[in-house]
């Protein structure tokens, strides 16, 4: 159970980075990016490829994954100046699927590297040192959890600070439309570009951390529904508030993984006695039902709590 909780906290911490990144794009800059998962995928794949095929260190791999995802963010931002918001949103979904289809159809070197097979045996940082020192896998997982949480804290602080700078303030103005910022001399396209680059970098970094933690990645991990789960985190927590994104991540991660908790609560006999509950708790039903629950929560939040659990804060200047 503890092992599982550590795993949950680590992947949750990585998901929180994705939520923070999306909060910068949507909460601050108003960019409806439905292809967020592409950053995660690019970060993971590029880092794994750099390390495994390029023979570079893991640090360079992670850096490469981060930069590649940032560049993809810039690419996605390029048409924003000319496109209406909803057209741009659907093209981000399409762009993310193109990225996934690319990795799904491309083999790197051997047929077992890439394509539907994914990438297996991705090296983990300092893994050998742990083994040589006689430490266990649990020790290593605890170390990685620390690594993730420290990175998460750093990203959180940097993004929150950024939101308070004149740069962040201009992003907040842009989320309500181009006209006023343009009339005030702000080069709106440049701001969006930078928001997407930073968002991409954070998402790519998270993807690289995930790849080197999980040691295995596969195109199935990066389907569009994953993007929606990140959206759920941001909307539930409160768009525009970075703390909210983290709170949303904790709640959604818990719900999403609740299947395993519930399974350990209810004994098989209980389930057989009550047909309806038994039906609901069947894994093939429970899996989709948790998604229904997440969707329902988002709808309720939008209808009754549009600013989320932790609403955006105003900075006060009154004397």
Residues numbered 13-32 forming contacts with another protein, rule: CB under 8 A = 26, 30, 32
Nearer to another protein, 87 or 216 (CB): 87
Nearer to another protein, 39 or 213 (CB): 39
Among 135, 153, 277, 285, binds another protein (CB under 8 A): 285
DSSP state of 314: P
**83 in contact with another protein (CB under 8 A):** yes
Question: Which spans in 106-136 are helix H?
Answer: 127-132
**109 in contact with another protein (CB under 8 A):** no
CB of 287 to another protein, least distance (A): 8
Contacts of 115 (CB under 8 A, 6+ apart): 103, 104, 105, 106, 107
Nearer to another protein, 133 or 292 (CB): 292
**235 in contact with another protein (CB under 8 A):** yes
Among 3, 176, 220, 270, binds another protein (CB under 8 A): 176
Q: Within 208-227, which residues bind another protein (CB under 8 A)? A: 224-225
Q: Within 178-197, which residues bind another protein (CB under 8 A)? A: 179-188, 191, 194
Q: Which residues pair with 216 in a beta bridge?
A: 120
Backbone angles phi, psi at 112, to 5 degrees: -95, 10
Nearer to another protein, 13 or 27 (CB): 27
CA dihedral (253, 125, 73, 157) positive or negative: positive
Task: Tell me the two tokens of residue 246.
Answer: 């983290």
Question: Which spans in 238-309 are helix H?
Answer: 242-256, 258-265, 268-273, 275-280, 283-304
């Amino acid at each position: 159970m503890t092992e599982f909780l550590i795993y949950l906290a680590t992947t949750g911490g990585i998901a929180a980075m994705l939520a923070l990144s999306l909060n910068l794009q949507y909460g601050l800059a108003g960019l409806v990016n439905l292809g967020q998962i592409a950053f995660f995928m690019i970060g993971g794949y590029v880092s794994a490829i750099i390390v495994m095929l390029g023979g570079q260190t893991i640090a360079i791999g992670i850096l490469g994954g981060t930069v590649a995802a940032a560049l993809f963010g810039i690419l996605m931002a390029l048409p924003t100046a000319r496109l209406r918001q909803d057209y741009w949103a659907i093209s981000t979904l399409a762009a993310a699927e193109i990225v996934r289809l690319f990795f799904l159809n491309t083999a790197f070197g051997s047929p077992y590297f890439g394509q539907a097979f994914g990438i297996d045996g991705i090296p983990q940082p300092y893994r050998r040192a742990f083994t040589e020192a006689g430490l266990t896998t649990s020790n290593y997982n605890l170390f990685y959890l620390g690594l993730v949480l420290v990175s998460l804290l750093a990203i959180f602080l940097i993004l929150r600070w950024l939101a308070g700078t004149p740069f962040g303030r201009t992003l907040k103005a842009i989320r309500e439309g181009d006209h006023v910022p343009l009339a005030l001399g702000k080069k709106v396209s440049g701001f969006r570009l930078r928001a997407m680059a930073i968002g991409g970098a954070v998402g790519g970094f998270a993807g690289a951390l995930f790849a080197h933690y999980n040691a295995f990645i596969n195109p199935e991990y990066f389907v569009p529904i994953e993007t929606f789960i990140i959206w759920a985190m941001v909307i539930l927590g409160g768009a525009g508030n970075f703390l909210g994104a983290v709170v949303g991540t904790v709640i959604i991660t818990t719900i999403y993984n609740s299947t395993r908790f519930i399974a350990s609560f209810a004994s098989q006999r209980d389930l057989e006695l009550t047909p309806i509950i038994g039906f609901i708790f069947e894994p093939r039903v429970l899996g989709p039902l948790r998604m229904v629950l997440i969707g329902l929560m988002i709808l309720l939040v939008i209808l009754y709590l549009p600013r989320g659990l932790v609403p955006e804060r105003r900075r006060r200047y009154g004397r």
